[in-house]
């Protein structure tokens, strides 16, 4: 058995120094046996991996009684109920797996994360993700101020769990606001702002996220901007890295389309200097993936990353272009409101200085809009009160309901297309706009 668990951030940094992209599944099962099998197979994959405990929907919304009832009735849950299973069960689940060679992160989706943080800390884990905005606005109607207060407490609980050899780690989900159709500058700004919030509340190891969008060139620019802003704005002594999410919107329906999109995200991670990749599987458009499908996705991404060659030199990765300029303006506008981000973030949304397109949360102004340009890049058609200008072409058509559906399925249709054949357009079975952790 390996030594005691290595800090999550240190594991990723060591892997990057060795030229290996860390790949990670989104995987959660209610049954401890199935969950352990998932972790075992993730660890054994032909890839550099970290494990994931994705938490069930009852626990995400604080309905621990519902989670308990589901377990008692033998109902299949869509994740691991970490705050409901006895502590001894979770510790046994991790025993012999969670160590220096295999960190495990808890991913959840909760606007009120305190019970989850308490449970993961008690089980000997110290890595999770989310954020006061990114796990509030897309996920329900919890008032933003309540989420901010809950996340401040959650950060402090996690930071206080530090022990010799442990550096608690928190990843911002800010790079995936609604999962799709959000121009990169806002995703970059939110990741930076949430990680600054985490640092204000005691965390010394963080990761900044970005979700693959519609244009690889724009995405590469965005990740570079994120790296640059993190280096400029995070306090000295705060360890950080960038994690890329394989496309979080409506996913290709065909196996070849899903595989091509996953491979594209792995190449993007290498080109842009991201150090960790959250993968998706060929089953994403239809159902919860199996362990085998998750492992296949991990190995596919790792192979694509290895074939992509070495990442560019740091000087090449340091630029950021127009995404950097827009993101910097958004971050500075928020920081100018108050030095305490627990006050600045709600105030920024109240004034519309941050405004997520197509987000229906009551605390979001809802005045911003985006379009996919003819060149494939996401553009702002309306920025509301945000301190940036619209950059969509003046002759861009106003987005209709049909246009929104077309935009939501843009990547699925594009990657499902046969390499030399026509686009096989088909009506969607359903509209899915909520991302998963």
The pTM score is: 0.92
Question: 118: burial class by Cβ within 10 Å (0-12, 13-18, 19+)?
Answer: middle
* Cα 82 to Cα 75: distance, rounded to the nearest angstrom: 16
pLDDT recorded at residue 341: 98
Closest CA to 108 of 144, 55, 35: 55
* Cα 192 to Cα 231: distance, rounded to the nearest angstrom: 10
pLDDT recorded at residue 2: 52
* Cα 370 to Cα 337: distance, rounded to the nearest angstrom: 26
* Cα 319 to Cα 222: distance, rounded to the nearest angstrom: 9
Report the alpha-carbon angle 422-279-418, nearest 5.
10
Closest CA to 37 of 93, 101, 77, 119: 93
* Cα 235 to Cα 46: distance, rounded to the nearest angstrom: 36
* Cα 6 to Cα 234: distance, rounded to the nearest angstrom: 23
pLDDT recorded at residue 424: 38
Query: Cβ(122)–Cβ(41) under 8 Å?
Result: no
Bridge partners of residue 107, in order along the sequence: 54
Q: Which SS3 state, helix, strand or coil, does residue 48 take?
A: strand
Low-confidence ranges of the chain (pLDDT < 70): 1-3, 179, 250, 285, 310-320, 395-397, 411, 418-437
Listed in sequence order, the DSSP H helices in 18-170 are 32-44, 57-60, 64-73, 87-94, 114-122, 144-160
Within 10 angstroms of residue 253's Cβ, the number of other Cβ atoms is: 20
| N residues, the chain | 437
* Cα 342 to Cα 201: distance, rounded to the nearest angstrom: 10
Element (H, E) at 244: strand 239-245
Taken in order of first residue, the domains within the chain and their CATH numbers are 8-317 (3.20.20.240)
Q: Which SS3 state, helix, strand or coil, does residue 433 take?
A: coil
Give 135-188 as a DSSP string. Answer: TTTTT----HHHHHHHHHHHHHHHHHT--TT---EEEE-GGGSSSSS--HHHHH
Query: Cβ(58)–Cβ(67) under 8 Å?
Result: yes
Listed in sequence order, the DSSP H helices in 201-340 are 216-233, 255-272, 291-307, 314-317, 321-335
Q: Which SS3 state, helix, strand or coil, does residue 245 take?
A: strand
Residue 23 is encoded by which pair of tokens?
A: 């790949």
pLDDT recorded at residue 145: 98
């Amino acid at each position: 058995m390996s030594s005691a668990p290595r800090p999550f951030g240190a594991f990723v940094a060591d892997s990057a120094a060795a030229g290996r992209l860390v790949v990670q599944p989104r995987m959660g099962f209610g049954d401890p046996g199935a969950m352990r099998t998932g972790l075992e197979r993730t660890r054994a994959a032909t890839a550099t991996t970290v494990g994931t405990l994705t938490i069930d929907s009852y626990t995400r919304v604080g309905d621990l009684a519902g989670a308990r009832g589901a377990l008692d009735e033998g109902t299949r849950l869509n994740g691991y109920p970490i705050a409901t299973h006895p502590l001894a069960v979770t510790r046994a689940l991790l025993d012999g797996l969670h160590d220096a060679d295999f960190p495990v992160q808890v991913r959840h989706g909760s606007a009120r994360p305190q019970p989850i943080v308490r449970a993961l800390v008690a089980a000997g884990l110290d890595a999770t993700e989310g954020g006061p905005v990114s796990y509030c606005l897309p996920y329900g109607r919890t008032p933003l101020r309540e989420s901010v207060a809950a996340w401040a407490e959650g950060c402090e609980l996690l930071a206080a769990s530090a022990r010799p050899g442990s550096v608690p780690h928190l990843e911002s989900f800010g790079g995936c606001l609604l999962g799709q159709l959000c121009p990169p500058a806002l995703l970059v700004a939110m990741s930076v702002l949430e990680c600054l919030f985490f640092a204000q509340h005691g965390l010394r190891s963080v990761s900044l996220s970005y979700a693959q969008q519609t244009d690889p060139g724009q995405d590469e620019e965005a990740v570079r901007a994120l790296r640059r802003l993190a280096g400029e704005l995070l306090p000295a002594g705060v360890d950080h890295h960038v994690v890329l999410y394989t496309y979080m919107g409506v996913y290709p329906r065909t196996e070849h389309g899903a595989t091509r999109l996953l491979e594209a995200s792995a190449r993007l991670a290498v080109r842009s200097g991201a150090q960790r990749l959250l993968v998706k599987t060929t089953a994403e458009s239809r159902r919860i993936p199996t362990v085998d499908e998750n492992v296949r996705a991990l190995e596919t991404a790792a192979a694509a990353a290895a074939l992509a060659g070495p990442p560019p030199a740091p000087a090449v990765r340091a630029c950021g272009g127009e995404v950097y300029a827009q993101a910097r303006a958004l971050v500075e506008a928020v920081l100018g409101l108050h030095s305490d981000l627990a006050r600045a973030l709600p105030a920024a949304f109240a004034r519309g200085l941050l405004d997520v397109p197509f987000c229906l949360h009551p605390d979001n102004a809802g005045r911003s809009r985006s379009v996919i340009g003819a060149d494939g890049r996401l553009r702002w058609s309306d920025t509301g009160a945000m301190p940036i200008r619209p950059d969509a072409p003046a002759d861009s058509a106003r987005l209709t309901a049909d246009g929104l559906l077309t935009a939501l399925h843009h990547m699925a249709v594009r990657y499902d297309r046969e390499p030399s054949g026509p686009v096989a357009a088909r009506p969607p079975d359903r509209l899915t706009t909520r991302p998963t952790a």
